[in-house]
C-alpha cells in the first residue's frame, strides 16, 4: 500500500516543494500539496502524515494518521485532550526552532522602542513637533530576565549579550538551560527572587496549563518601577488586567505584547488604551521571512527521515507537557 | 597666574563634577561649572580651556582661550573658518566615541522597524485593526554598507555582525578601517561599485565640505529597490529631495532619518509627508543616557591630562578636515 503525506501550507515555494518531494521519495512516501483545506481534507483518509497548521484539518483526519507535524512552534490547540486526534497514539511534532531569529529580532525592536521612548517620539513627529529630551536607556549594562529559555528566548539572549547586557538570567521549568548564553539559570519556582532585580523581562513561554498567568498580579508588583516587559509567547501567560493597571499607574515603565487574549483583540478592549504599551497583532513569528520558511521545511524533512527509519522525532512534542 | 577651565554643560551630575575637579587639580587647573551661558561668558576672559557645546560661547571667548573641548561628536559649526576662534591656534577636540553605543542602538531600532514594517503595523493598531501578513525581512543574511566607518558606524557594525549580517562593507575616506569588524573596506571614491549590492545603507558621516550630498540623486538611483537607508550623521550628507522622490515612487523600500536640513524641520517640509520614512528629531545621540555622559566626562579628563603634559590631544579635530 502506498504511504502518503498530506502537506497543506500557504508559504511553500516551488523549491520547498521539490525539497519535500525528494525527502519523501527517499523515505518511501508519496506527497501531495494543498493550500486549500477543503481540498486537502479529501486526501486525508489515505494519509499517514500531515504537515500543516490547522486544528480543523487535524480534527478531520481518521485514525490512520500517525504523525502530525505542525508548522507553528506553539501547539497549545493540540494538547487539550479533547479528542482532536482520532488516533490517540498519533505523533505530534512542532516547528520550534524555525522562529528564533525572526522573533528575537522582533523582541530587540520593541525592546529598543520601549527603552528609547520611540512611541512618544513618533507622536511628536506625527504632530510635526521637534524635541529630543526624553530620557533614553540602553541594553548595555542592563539586567535581563528571559522567562522561557527555549529557542526563542535563547536566540534573543545571544543578541542581548552581544549588545552588552550586564546580566542575563534564564528561567525554565527545570532551571536547566539548553544554551550557555545565560549568566545564571533558575527554575520557575524561584521566579519571585529574580523579579525584583529585573529591568527587562522577556517572556517566551508556550501556552500550557502551567504557564497560565504565571506572571500574576502579585508577580507584576515584584518588578521595579523602571522595568519593561516583552511578551512573545502566549497571551495567557500574564494577567492582562493587572499589567494594564500597573502601566496606567506608572508602576512599570512599559510593555510590548505581540500575543494577547483573545486574538484578535475586540475593539473595546482595555489594552488598546493602556499607557506605554506597544501592541502588535501577533506578527513576531510571521511566515513571510524566507529564513523561517526554509528552516521549517528543512526541519520537517529531517524528521521525515527519522520517522521513516523508526527513530524518535527530533521535534516531538510531549502532549501531556504541551511543548 | 591661575590656569582656569570653564565648563558649561547641562548634563553633569555631582559625581561628574567631582571627577572633573579632581582631574583639574591634578593637572594644575581651577575649574568652574555653569549651566547658563550668560553666566559662563563672564568667566571666559580668565580661561585657557572651555568644555561645552556652544558656538555662541566659543565666539565670545578671547584670544587667551587655547583649547575648546566640544561635548558633541559633530563639530561642523566650528570648522567653517569664519573667525569663530579668536585665537587661530586654539585647539579643538570633540567627544566622538561617547555616542557609539546609544546611536548604534538607535540605528538597530529604526532598521528593524523598517525591515519589519513596524510603522505600517502601528497604523493598523491605531485603527484597532488586526493583520499580520506584511512581508518582513531580517538582518540575518543581509548585505550592509556602513558609509562612515568611525566609532558610530563600527559600533553598529559589530552589532549587525552579531545578528548574522552576511556581509558588512565599510566605506571611509581612505578605505582603511580602524576596526576589524568589516568584511571589506572601500575608499569613498569607490562607493558607486558598492551601492548596487547594498540592501541596508547606514550613513554616519561628519558634516564636512566633502560629505555634502555625498549620497546624491545619481547614487540613490544606484541602490536596489529593496534597499533601506538609515542616516544618523548629518542631514547635509544626502539629497533629501531625491530621497523623498525615490521613496514616494517605491524605488527604495524605506529610510530613517534622525538628521535633516534644516533642524527643526519646518511644518510645511516635504519630508513629513514622505512615504516609508521614519523621522526622528535628532534623538539618536541624546545626552540622557548615563553611559554617554560618563564617557564624555572621562574622555575630557583624559585629554586634560594630555593637555597639561604637553602631549597631543587624543580627541583632537583637524579643523581643515572637519573631524
Count up the domains in chain B and report the number. Answer: 2
Question: Radius of gyration (Cα) for chain B, nearest Å?
Answer: 21
Q: How far, CA to CA in Å, does B293 sit from each of A32, A113, B37, B80, B285?
A: 62, 21, 19, 27, 11
Phi, psi of A178 (to 5 degrees): -85, -5
Q: Given CB atoms, is B226 within the 8 Å cutoff of chain A?
A: no
Q: Does residue B14 sit within a domain?
A: yes
Q: Identify the DSSP state of B78.
A: G
Which three cell numbers, joined as nine digits, stand for A115? Answer: 527603552
Residues in chain B, pLDDT under 50: none
Rounded CA gap, A231 and A243, in Å?
A: 12
Alpha helix stretches (DSSP H) within chain B: 14-27, 37-43, 55-59, 100-115, 118-126, 151-162, 191-194, 217-222, 240-248, 290-308
Inter-chain residue contact A267 with B128, CB threshold 8 Å: yes
Inter-chain residue contact B283 with A163, CB threshold 8 Å: no
Q: Does residue A123 sit within a domain?
A: yes
| Nearest by CB: B291 against A101, A105, A140 | A140
Q: Given CB atoms, is A286 within the 8 Å cutoff of chain B?
A: yes
Q: Given CB atoms, is A279 within the 8 Å cutoff of chain B?
A: yes
CATH number, position A196: 3.40.50.720
Residue whose entry in the numeric block shows the C-alpha cell 567653517? B80
Rounded CA gap, A207 and A74, in Å?
A: 7
ipTM rounded to 2 decimals:
0.93
Inter-chain residue contact B288 with A140, CB threshold 8 Å: no
Q: Does residue B314 sit within a domain?
A: no
pLDDT at position B287? 67
Residues of A in contact with B280 (CB under 8 A): 121, 125
A174 plus A49 within the same structural domain? no
Q: Given CB atoms, is A88 within the 8 Å cutoff of chain B?
A: no
Inter-chain residue contact B138 with A105, CB threshold 8 Å: yes
Q: Given CB atoms, is A280 within the 8 Å cutoff of chain B?
A: yes
Q: Does residue B89 sit within a domain?
A: yes
Q: Given CB atoms, is B126 within the 8 Å cutoff of chain A?
A: no
Among A118, A155, A198, CA closest to B112 = A118
B25 plus B72 within the same structural domain? yes
A242 plus A254 within the same structural domain? yes
Which three cell numbers, joined as nine digits, stand for A41? Answer: 481534507
| Nearest by CB: A162 against B159, B267, B291 | B159
pLDDT at position A92? 97
A61 plus A104 within the same structural domain? no
Rounded CA gap, A323 and A208, in Å?
A: 8
Q: Does residue A315 sit within a domain?
A: no
B69 plus B135 within the same structural domain? no
Which three cell numbers, joined as nine digits, stand for A322? Answer: 504541551
CA distance A125 to chain B (A): 7
CA distance A121 to chain B (A): 7
CA distance A311 to chain B (A): 32
Q: Given CB atoms, is B124 within the 8 Å cutoff of chain A?
A: yes
Q: Does residue B318 sit within a domain?
A: no
Sheet containing A228-231, strands listed edge to edge, beginning at the edge strand earlier in sequence = A184-187, A167-172, A143-147, A200-203, A228-231, A254-257, A277-279
| Nearest by CB: B101 against A122, A129, A140 | A140
CA distance A284 to chain B (A): 9
Taking only the tens of pLDDT, chain A with its 323 residues reads: 689 999 999 999 999 999 999 999 999 999 999 999 999 999 999 999 999 999 999 999 999 999 999 999 999 999 987 789 999 999 999 999 999 999 999 999 999 999 999 999 999 999 999 999 999 999 999 999 999 999 999 999 999 999 999 999 999 999 987 778 999 999 999 999 999 999 999 999 999 999 999 999 999 999 999 999 999 999 999 999 999 999 999 999 999 999 999 999 999 999 999 999 999 999 998 767 888 999 999 999 999 999 999 999 999 999 888 88
Alpha helix stretches (DSSP H) within A176-289: 191-194, 217-220, 240-248
Residue whose entry in the numeric block shows the C-alpha cell 545626552? B287
Rounded CA gap, B228 and B276, in Å?
A: 10
CA distance A126 to chain B (A): 8
CA A11 to chain centre: 18
A110 plus A225 within the same structural domain? yes
Q: How far, CA to CA in Å, does A309 sit from each of A3, A68, A313, A318?
A: 14, 17, 10, 20
Q: Does residue A156 sit within a domain?
A: yes
The angle subtended at Cα B204 by Cα B203 and Cα B207, nearest 5°, is 110
Residues of B in contact with A165 (CB under 8 A): none
Residues of A in contact with B265 (CB under 8 A): 128, 130
Q: Given CB atoms, is B270 within the 8 Å cutoff of chain A?
A: no
B80 plus B134 within the same structural domain? no
Q: Given CB atoms, is A86 within the 8 Å cutoff of chain B?
A: no
A90 plus A111 within the same structural domain? no
Inter-chain residue contact A163 with B105, CB threshold 8 Å: yes
| Nearest by CB: A138 against B124, B281, B289 | B289
- Residue A6 near residue A34 (C-beta atoms within 8 A): yes
Q: Chain B residue closest to A142 (CA)? A: B291
Residues of A in contact with B274 (CB under 8 A): none
- Domain containing A246: what range? 100-279
CA distance B156 to chain A (A): 10
Question: What is the CB neighbour count within 10 angstroms for residue B319?
Answer: 18
Residue whose entry in the numeric block shows the C-alpha cell 541596508? B200
Q: Which residues pair with B70 in a beta bridge?
A: B52
pLDDT at position A287? 67
Q: Does residue B284 sit within a domain?
A: no
A275 plus A126 within the same structural domain? yes
| Nearest by CB: A289 against B125, B138, B289 | B138
Inter-chain residue contact B108 with A106, CB threshold 8 Å: no
Q: Which of residues 149-178 of B touch A (CB under 8 A)?
A: 158-159, 162-164
B17 plus B82 within the same structural domain? yes
| Nearest by CB: B121 against A118, A133, A283 | A283
A77 plus A106 within the same structural domain? no
Rounded CA gap, B29 and B303, in Å?
A: 13
CA distance A255 to chain B (A): 15
Inter-chain residue contact A264 with B109, CB threshold 8 Å: no
Q: Given CB atoms, is B112 within the 8 Å cutoff of chain A?
A: yes
Residues of A in contact with B135 (CB under 8 A): 288-289
Q: Given CB atoms, is A283 within the 8 Å cutoff of chain B?
A: yes
Q: Given CB atoms, is B59 within the 8 Å cutoff of chain A?
A: no
Instruction: Indicate the Cα dihedral angle B214, B219, B225, B228, nearest 10°.
Output: -10
pLDDT at position A180? 85
Residues of A in contact with B122 (CB under 8 A): 122
Residues of B in contact with A138 (CB under 8 A): 101-102, 105, 289, 291
B118 plus B80 within the same structural domain? no
Inter-chain residue contact B125 with A281, CB threshold 8 Å: yes
Amino acid at each position: 500500500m502506498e504511504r502518503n503525506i498530506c502537506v497543506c501550507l500557504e508559504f511553500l515555494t516551488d523549491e520547498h516543494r521539490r525539497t519535500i518531494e525528494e525527502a519523501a521519495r527517499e523515505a518511501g512516501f508519496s506527497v501531495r500539496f494543498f493550500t486549500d483545506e477543503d481540498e486537502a481534507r479529501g486526501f486525508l483518509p489515505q494519509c499517514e502524515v500531515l504537515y500543516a497548521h490547522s486544528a480543523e484539518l487535524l480534527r478531520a483526519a481518521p485514525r490512520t494518521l500517525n504523525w502530525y507535524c505542525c508548522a507553528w512552534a506553539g501547539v497549545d490547540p493540540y494538547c487539550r485532550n479533547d479528542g482532536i486526534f482520532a488516533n490517540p497514539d498519533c505523533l505530534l511534532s512542532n516547528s520550534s526552532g524555525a522562529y528564533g531569529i525572526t522573533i528575537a529580532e522582533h523582541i530587540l525592536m520593541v525592546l529598543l522602542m520601549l527603552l528609547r521612548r520611540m512611541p512618544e517620539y513618533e507622536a511628536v513627529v506625527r504632530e510635526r513637533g521637534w524635541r529630543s529630551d526624553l530620557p533614553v536607556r540602553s541594553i548595555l549594562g542592563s539586567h535581563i530576565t528571559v522567562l522561557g529559555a527555549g529557542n526563542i528566548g535563547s536566540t534573543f539572549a545571544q543578541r542581548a549579550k552581544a549588545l552588552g547586557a550586564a546580566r542575563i538570567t534564564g528561567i525554565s521549568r527545570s532551571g536547566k538551560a539548553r544554551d550557555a548564553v545565560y549568566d545564571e539559570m533558575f527554575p520557575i519556582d524561584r521566579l519571585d527572587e529574580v523579579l525584583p532585580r529585573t529591568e527587562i523581562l522577556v517572556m517566551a513561554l508556550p501556552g500550557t496549563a502551567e504557564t497560565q498567568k504565571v506572571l500574576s498580579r502579585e508577580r507584576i508588583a515584584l518588578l521595579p518601577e523602571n522595568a519593561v516587559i516583552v511578551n512573545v509567547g502566549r497571551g495567557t501567560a500574564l494577567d492582562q488586567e493587572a499589567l494594564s493597571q500597573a502601566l496606567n499607574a506608572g508602576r512599570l515603565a512599559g510593555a510590548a505584547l505581540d500575543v494577547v487574549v483573545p486574538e484578535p483583540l475586540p475593539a473595546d478592549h482595555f489594552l488598546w488604551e493602556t499607557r506605554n504599551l506597544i501592541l502588535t497583532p501577533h506578527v513576531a513569528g510571521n511566515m513571510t521571512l524566507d529564513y523561517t520558511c526554509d528552516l521549517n521545511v528543512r526541519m520537517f524533512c529531517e524528521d521525515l527521515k527519522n520517522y521513516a527509519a523508526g527513530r524518535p522525532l527530533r521535534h516531538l512534542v510531549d502532549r501531556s507537557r504541551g511543548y
